[in-house]
């Protein structure tokens, strides 16, 4: 039995993410992945049982980084406006630092073919719910159905981020997200959420 090499495992994971973002899930085969990493197919099976195991491990790893980065300096007991602004900044920093991870997660989340585990999301989800509940209890925001709250609190952010990643606005013009534009959008978002 061969010994696992963590650098090789990391390279396999990163190349798989890159291939999925570029070619979709159908574009990922163990043979293509092995060729891209310059290893034999059997080497991949030292690290992953099968393609589904690889995909689930990728999702788990990417979500762990997402949770770590977005929870940085965040506390569910924070003032709502300060906490939401921190969330926007943490998420934006994460997306700039790990754009392929973000795009991979979006593909994974929107794929009906993939059954992804909610691994690592419990503490994150609990913190987000507690943050929202605290803001409602303090009367900093109106009580809304979860889906409406989420659409108002994060929809504008993710729309701008996607324009930025595509380097194109809805009108097809070049687009780069700036701190000033992010702040302007955030301020309008806060107005929509305040009591």
pLDDT in tens, 135-144: 999 999 999 9
CA separation for the pair 9, 44 (Å, rounded) = 8
For residue 27 the two structure tokens come to 């574009």
| Distances from the Cα of 4 to the Cα of 8, 11, 47, 65, 128, angstroms | 8, 12, 7, 22, 37
CB neighbour list of residue 8: distance below 8 Å, 6 or more residues apart: 37, 39, 43, 47
Q: Do the Cβ atoms of 107 and 165 come closer than 8 Å?
A: no
| Torsion sign over Cα 133, 74, 64, 16 | positive
- Looking at domain 1-48, its CATH superfamily turns out to be Homeodomain-like (1.10.10.60)
CA separation for the pair 51, 174 (Å, rounded) = 37
| Distances from the Cα of 43 to the Cα of 28, 39, 191, angstroms | 16, 7, 54
Predicted local distance difference test score (pLDDT) of residue 113: 57
Measured in degrees and rounded to the nearest 5, phi and psi for residue 163 equal -60, -45
Q: Do the Cβ atoms of 70 and 158 come closer than 8 Å?
A: no
Q: Is the pLDDT of residue 65 over 80?
A: yes
The pTM assigned to this predicted structure is: 0.89
Q: Do the Cβ atoms of 59 and 13 come closer than 8 Å?
A: no
Q: How is the chain split into domains, by residue range?
A: 1-48, 64-193
pLDDT in tens, 21-41: 999 988 899 999 999 999 999
Q: Do the Cβ atoms of 60 and 117 come closer than 8 Å?
A: yes
Of 150, 118, 119, 120, the C-alpha closest to 132 is 150
Q: Do the Cβ atoms of 141 and 80 come closer than 8 Å?
A: yes
pLDDT band for position 5 (cuts 50, 70, 90)? confident
pLDDT band for position 80 (cuts 50, 70, 90)? very high
For residue 136 the two structure tokens come to 């409602």
């Amino acid at each position: 039995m061969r010994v696992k090499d963590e650098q090789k495992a990391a390279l396999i994971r990163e190349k798989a993410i890159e291939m999925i973002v570029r070619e979709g899930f159908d574009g990922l085969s163990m043979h293509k992945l092995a060729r891209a990493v310059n290893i034999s197919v059997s080497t991949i099976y030292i690290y992953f049982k099968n393609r589904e195991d690889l995909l689930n491990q990728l999702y788990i790893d990417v979500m762990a980084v997402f949770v770590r980065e977005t929870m940085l300096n965040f506390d569910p007991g924070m003032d709502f406006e300060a906490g939401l602004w921190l969330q926007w900044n943490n998420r934006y920093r994460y997306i700039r630092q790990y754009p392929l991870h973000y795009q991979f997660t979006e593909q994974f989340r929107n794929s009906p073919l993939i059954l992804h585990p909610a691994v690592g999301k419990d503490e994150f989800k609990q913190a987000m719910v507690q943050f929202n509940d605290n803001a409602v209890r303090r009367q900093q925001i109106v009580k809304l159905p979860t889906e409406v709250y989420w659409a108002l609190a994060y929809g504008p952010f993710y729309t701008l981020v996607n324009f930025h990643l595509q380097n194109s606005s809805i009108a097809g013009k070049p687009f780069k997200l700036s701190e000033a534009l992010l702040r302007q959008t955030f301020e309008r978002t806060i107005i929509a959420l305040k009591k």
